[in-house]
Amino acid sequence: MVITSSEGFNASGEGKALNSPILILAQSVRVRMGNGQVVSGKVDADGNIRISL
């Protein structure tokens, strides 16, 4: 799950990690979203990818 949030705003979606099939806490990861867009974020403790705005 890819998650982004800011004050008063939350969004999430699904995608496929492009870097590594094994996600490590705080690792930077690139993810291809369902629409083909590639985003970058960091792995959180739950295995989700967090994108900072």
Q: What is the pTM of this model?
A: 0.79
Do 16 and 28 contact (CB within 8 A), yes or no? no
Q: What letter does residue 19 receive in the DSSP assignment?
A: S
- The token pair at 25 is 């806490």
Do 19 and 13 contact (CB within 8 A), yes or no? no
Q: What is the pLDDT of residue 14?
A: 95
* Whole-angstrom distance, CA of residue 26 vs CA of residue 42: 5
Q: What is the largest CA-CA distance in the chain?
A: 32
pLDDT tens-place string over residues 6-51: 899 999 999 998 987 787 888 899 999 999 999 999 999 998 999 9
- Structural Rg of the chain based on CA atoms: 10
